[in-house]
Structure 1
C-alpha cells in the first residue's frame, strides 16, 4: 500500500513514503527532509543460524551523486565505506540491536542509502530514523520505533536537531537514541571554542619593526560539562525522543505488514546439568572467575567443561560438551551478578567503586616524538604521538561539505589479537577500532589546540585488553601529547562504568573489566578533565536506564576520573622531553622589503641556509614572516639568527635623513593612497595623498605621475619607513 506521512517535530520536517520503492524487501521507506532523500530497506533471511547470536548487519552507504559529485581517485565509482559511513552504520546498529528479542537468530540486513543530500542535514539522525521506520513497517515482528536526535548548546541555549552550520557554533554535540519508553544510546562530545587574543610583540619575536609583530590570534578554550547539567540535558533530549516515537508508532502501524511467524529460540538450560554443576563444581567455577587474567579465566572454565564431560554421569546421560559449556557459562554469569548485587563484591576482589592499579611510563620509545605506556589492571595501551607539518593532514570529503576538508588531529586505535591471547594475524581496522579511536579523539580534541602549521597523530596500540582499552587510550593519549611537548589545556582521563540490575536491585561498577562488560547490563564510557565531561558513550543492553541511575553513574565516574587524573598529573611532572627528537619550528618577523635579500639572487642565499643548517624555510612575503623548521632545535635557532643577521646588514645600509631635510627624487610607483618616491641612496619614501597639496586631492595622478622629478621634505623616518611632503614638481 502506497502511503505518505509527514512529521514536523524536533526542528526536523520529515516525510516518510512507504510502498513506492524496493517492494521485494521485507520493509522499505523513502525518507525526505529538505533536499535529503534516503532509502532504507530491511531484509530477513528465512533460515535461522545455528549459533546463539543475533546476525544483524547494518550498512550505511553514501552515493556521490547525492551531492552532485563524481568519486575521486582512479576508479570512478564508490569504493569501501569511509570513516563517516562506518561510524554512522555503527550508530544505527547500536540503537536498533536492542529491539530484537533474545533468541532471534534470523540474519537481518538493514541498508540505508543516501540518494540526495542537503548540506545542512544531519545524516546520522536521519539514517537511524529511516532504518527504524523500515524495520517497523516490515513483516519482521518488531513493533517498536526508535528515534535519534542531536542536541546542541548554542549561546547558552539548548537546541534540538540543529542545522550543521549551527552546530559549528555549539559547545555541545550530543547524539541520543531511544524508544518512547527507554533511552538506548548516548554519544557526546564537548566542543572547544576559539576567542581572539592579541599577542604583544615580545611573544611574536619581532626583529626590526615591532609595529609589524603585533598579531591577533585565535586561542582555543576547552569546554567541559558537569554531571548535573549534562544529566538535565540528556533528560530533556529523552523527552523529545519519547514524543517523536509515540507519533511514529501512531501512524506507521497503519501501513505495517502482517507479522511473519518466526521461531524465537528459547534459552534452554538443562536443569540436570545445572543442578550437577551447582552441587559439584560450584567452588571450581568460583576459582575460575577469580582468575586474574582474562585468558586464564577462559582456560579454567574450558577445563571445567572438559572435566564434567569426562564424568561418568555425563557419559551416562549423554551430555554434549557444547551443552555443558552453555550451562557453565550461564552459571558463571549468575555467580558474577550475585556477588555484585548481594555481596557488593567483584570477581577480582575490588569494591564497586575501586579503580584497578595504574602504572604509567612516558617516552619509552627513543625515536618517537612522544609516547606513553598506560597500564590499568590487565588493560595496557601504548600511545605514540607524532608531530607533522600542516601538509601531513588527512584529507577527507563529506557528502555535505562543499569541498575537501583536512584533519589536523588524528587518533588511530589498533587492537591486535594477541592483546586478548588469540592466535590470529593482525588485519585491517574494523568498525570497533574506528569507533574506539573516534571516541578517544572526541575526548581529547577539546583540550588540544593544534598549532596552525602542524598536524598531530596519536596511535594507540592495545597490548593487553581486559576492560575499556578505549579509555586507556584517552589517558595514554593525553600523556603522550605532554611527552611530545604539545600544549594541552588540561589532562583528560577516561573510565568505563558498568551496571548490574535485577528487579529493584542494582549496582554501578567503576572501571569494569571484560567479564563485567560481558555479563553486565550497561557499558558506559566517560572521559573528561577535572572541570567536567568532554566525551561519553553509553550502550544499554537491558532496554533502558532510569534517570536517577544515569545521574548516579555520572557522579561515580567523576570520582574515578579525579582519582585517575591525580595519578596522571604525578606522571606528567616526571616527563623527560626528548628535545632532540622533536621537530622544531620558529617564526621570526622582518620587514617585507628584506625578504628579497633573504632569498637572494635566483634563491641562492636561501638555498645555502637550508643546506647549511638542515632546515626548511617558509616565507610569507606580505607579512614579512619567515618560518624555520627542522629536526634539530639548535640548528633551527642558528638558522634564525643567521637570517636576522642578513636582515640587519641590509638595515644598516639604509641611509638616514633628518626631519625637515629637503631632498630631490623621482616618482617610482603610484597607489590610490599616495606615491612612492625614490630618494638618494636607493630607498623609497611615501608621499601620502594628503601631503600632495594643502587642499583636497581626489586622485594622485592629478598632481604627480610615474617618472616625475619632485622636491620633497622629510617629515619622519623610522628605519625603512620614510614619510614625505611634496614641495614642488619639476615638469
Structure 2
C-alpha cells in the first residue's frame, strides 16, 4: 500500500479532500447553515460552531474549499486619529491541502504575496461601508481551512468577512456579495475553476451591495469593452442572492435586525469655516505644483487653528481638523462638478506633461524612465532562465510557478519625506501585482526566458501603478521582449454629489 505523502490523501480517507469525510460532514453537525445555489455552484454560509467569543464569525464554502472569518472590535474609539483603524488579515494553512510547510521550520511564517493580495481584496470593499468618523479598532481574520484545489479562495474570504460583520453588532453598512466571472466560448461562467480560467478571456472579481457595484478587480486578454460591461451586469443578481443568504443566516442565528446609529454627517465647525475661509481654500487647491499646494494648505490650516483657538480657547483641535478636511473636500468637489476643473486647475481630459526615455542604464537588459507631471517611474528588466522562475505553494490550486513578475518599490523620497525602509509593504505588493496583470497577458506564450521587471518610483503625485505599467512596457521593448503590443495605463476616479457626477 502506498504511504501517505505530499498531495496524497491518507489511505483511509476519501480522495475528495484531506479534511472532509465521505460518510459524515462535520461542518453540518451543529450551528446554523444557509446554502444558495448559483448556476449549480452551491455556496454555504455557516455560523455558531466556531469562535463564539468573537464579535462575529462565519465560514463560507464552495465545493470542498472552506474559508473562516472572525471579526472583533474595540469597545471604545481610538483617540487622536483621523482614520478608520481597520486591520484585515488572510492566512492559508498548509493543512488545508494536506501538506506540510516547506523549509526547515515546519510551520507557517510571514504572509505570502498571495495572502497579502487576498487580504487587500477583502479590505477594499468592506472598508468603504463603515460609518464616516467611526474610530474603533476593527480586526478581521480570514483563514483558509480546507482547499480542494479547484478555485481561488479570495471570493470566499470576502463573503465570509461580510457575513461575520453582518452577524456582529459592529456598525457595518453591508452586507456585500462577491463573485468571480469568466468568459469562455462566448458565455459567462460563474466561479470558474482554474482549468476554466486558463481558457477565459477575462477574470473579474466583482463585489457589490444590493443596489450598486462596490469593487471590480481582475485582468483580461484584450477583452472587448462590451464583454467586461456585460460581466458586471451578469454578476450583480448573484451578488444580491449572496446578500440575502447572509441576512437569512443572521435571522436563523436568532439575532434581531441590525439598527445603526450613524454619527453626525457634517462637522460642527464646517458652516463657520465655509463662511470665513472658503475663498482661501479654493486659491490654495488651485496651485499647480504639489509641494507648493501642500505647503499653502498646511499654512492655511495652521492659520485657521490659531485664529479659532485665539477667539475661543476651548475649541478642540480635532474638531478644527475635521472641519478643515470637510471644507477641503467640499471645495474640490465643487471645482469638479460646478467648474469642470481638477485639483490643480486642469480640465478632466487634460494630461500632465509626459516624457519618456529608454536605455538609460548601461548594464541592465532593459531600462526606461517614464515621467508624467510630478510622477516618475524608473523601470528595469532582467532576463533569466527557467530555473529563475518564482515557485509558489498554490495551496488553493492554480500555477505552481511564475515566469513573469513585476516588483514595485515606493521609497519615502518619492514624496519628499523621511521614512523607514524595511520589508516590502502591502501597498507595494498590491501595486506591483496590478501593474503585473496589465503587462503579463501580452507576453508571448512560448517565451523561453524568465522575466523580472522592477519599477522604482522616483516621484509621486498620483497613479504610480499606471506609471509603472508605462515604464515597464518601455523597458520590456528596450530589452527586446516581443510583446504582442505595447501597453499604457491610466487611472480614473468618480466624483459625485447626489445625482451629479
Whether TM exceeds 0.5 here: the answer is yes
- Which ranges of structure 2 fall in alignment gaps of 5 or more residues? 1-29
| Structural mapping, 1:358-437, within 5 Å | 358-401=354-397, 405-437=400-432
Relative to structure 1, the CA distance from residue 25 to residue 259 in structure 2 (aligned partners, 3 Å threshold; closer, same or farther) is: farther
Q: Give 1:441's aligned residue.
A: 436
Give the alignment partner of residue 275 of structure 2, picking from 266, 274, 278: 278
CA–CA separation in structure 1 for the residues paired with 2:168 and 2:324: 37
CA–CA separation in structure 2 for the residues paired with 1:401 and 1:120: 6
Question: 1:128 Cα deviation (Å)?
Answer: 1.3
Larger Rg computed on CA atoms = 1
Question: 1:405 Cα deviation (Å)?
Answer: 2.1
Tell whether the 8 Å contact from 1:372 to 1:476 is kept in structure 2 after alignment: yes
Q: Give 1:9's aligned residue.
A: 38
Q: Give 1:179's aligned residue.
A: 209
Give the alignment partner of residue 76 of structure 2, picking from 23, 27, 47: 47
Q: Give 1:126's aligned residue.
A: 156
Q: Give 2:130's aligned residue.
A: 100
CA–CA separation in structure 2 for the residues paired with 1:433 and 1:492: 21
1:88-116 Cα distance to aligned partner (Å, 9 max, x none): 11111112112211122211111111111
Give the alignment partner of residue 334 of structure 2, picking from 333, 338, 341: 338
Give the alignment partner of residue 87 of structure 1, picking from 117, 133, 142: 117
**2:476 is equivalent to residue 478 of structure 1:** no
Give the alignment partner of residue 455 of structure 2, picking from 453, 456, 460: 460
| Structural mapping, 1:110-189, within 5 Å | 110-142=140-172, 144-189=174-219
Question: 1:287 Cα deviation (Å)?
Answer: 2.9
| Structural mapping, 1:16-27, within 5 Å | 16-27=45-56
Q: Give 1:597's aligned residue.
A: none
Question: 1:16 Cα deviation (Å)?
Answer: 2.4
Give the superposed CA RMSD.
Answer: 2.2
**2:232 is equivalent to residue 234 of structure 1:** yes
**TM-score with structure 2 length normalisation?**
0.88
Tell whether the 8 Å contact from 2:166 to 2:246 is kept in structure 1 after alignment: no
CA–CA separation in structure 2 for the residues paired with 1:234 and 1:263: 32
CA–CA separation in structure 1 for the residues paired with 2:61 and 2:216: 25
CA–CA separation in structure 2 for the residues paired with 1:326 and 1:129: 33
Q: Give 1:304's aligned residue.
A: 300
Question: 1:295 Cα deviation (Å)?
Answer: 2.9
| Structural mapping, 1:461-540, within 5 Å | 461-506=456-501
Relative to structure 1, the CA distance from residue 256 to residue 49 in structure 2 (aligned partners, 3 Å threshold; closer, same or farther) is: farther
Q: Give 1:224's aligned residue.
A: 222
Question: 1:305 Cα deviation (Å)?
Answer: 2.2
1:532-566 Cα distance to aligned partner (Å, 9 max, x none): xxxxxxxxxxxxxxxxxxxxxxxxxxxxxxxxxxx
Q: Give 1:603's aligned residue.
A: none
Tell whether the 8 Å contact from 1:62 to 1:113 is kept in structure 2 after alignment: yes
What's the secondary structure of 1:493's corresponding residue?
Answer: coil
What's the secondary structure of 1:104's corresponding residue?
Answer: coil
CA–CA separation in structure 1 for the residues paired with 2:82 and 2:39: 39
Query: After the TM superposition, which parts of structure 1 deviate over 6 Å for at least 4 consecutive aligned residues?
Result: 259-263
CA–CA separation in structure 2 for the residues paired with 1:457 and 1:143: 41
Bigger RCO of structures 1 and 2 (CA < 8 A, at least 6 apart) = 2
Tell whether the 8 Å contact from 2:278 to 2:331 is kept in structure 1 after alignment: no
1:182-228 Cα distance to aligned partner (Å, 9 max, x none): 210001211xxxxxxxxxxxxxxxxxxxxxxxxxxxxxxxx312223
Tell whether the 8 Å contact from 1:137 to 1:253 is kept in structure 2 after alignment: no
Give the alignment partner of residue 245 of structure 1, picking from 243, 267, 275: 243
Give the alignment partner of residue 352 of structure 1, picking from 348, 353, 364: 348
1:112-132 Cα distance to aligned partner (Å, 9 max, x none): 111111111331111111111
Tell whether the 8 Å contact from 2:32 to 2:249 is kept in structure 1 after alignment: no
Question: 1:290 Cα deviation (Å)?
Answer: 2.0
Question: 1:260 Cα deviation (Å)?
Answer: 8.8
Tell whether the 8 Å contact from 1:285 to 1:332 is kept in structure 2 after alignment: yes
Q: Give 1:687's aligned residue.
A: none
What's the secondary structure of 1:495's corresponding residue?
Answer: coil
Q: Which moved more, 1:435-444 or 1:301-310?
A: 301-310
Q: Which moved more, 1:138-147 or 1:103-112?
A: 138-147
CA–CA separation in structure 2 for the residues paired with 1:73 and 1:480: 35
1:381-439 Cα distance to aligned partner (Å, 9 max, x none): 1111111122111111110349x822111100111111112211322222211111111
Question: 1:264 Cα deviation (Å)?
Answer: 5.2
Give the alignment partner of residue 324 of structure 1, picking from 314, 320, 327: 320
What's the secondary structure of 1:462's corresponding residue?
Answer: strand
Relative to structure 1, the CA distance from residue 152 to residue 489 in structure 2 (aligned partners, 3 Å threshold; closer, same or farther) is: same
**TM-score with structure 1 length normalisation?**
0.61
CA–CA separation in structure 1 for the residues paired with 2:300 and 2:274: 10
Q: Give 1:33's aligned residue.
A: 62
Relative to structure 1, the CA distance from residue 347 to residue 144 in structure 2 (aligned partners, 3 Å threshold; closer, same or farther) is: closer
Question: 1:274 Cα deviation (Å)?
Answer: 4.6
Relative to structure 1, the CA distance from residue 53 to residue 390 in structure 2 (aligned partners, 3 Å threshold; closer, same or farther) is: same
What's the secondary structure of 1:500's corresponding residue?
Answer: coil
Question: 1:452 Cα deviation (Å)?
Answer: 4.3
| Structural mapping, 1:629-668, within 5 Å | none
CA–CA separation in structure 1 for the residues paired with 2:88 and 2:254: 21
Q: Give 1:254's aligned residue.
A: 252
Q: Give 1:61's aligned residue.
A: 91
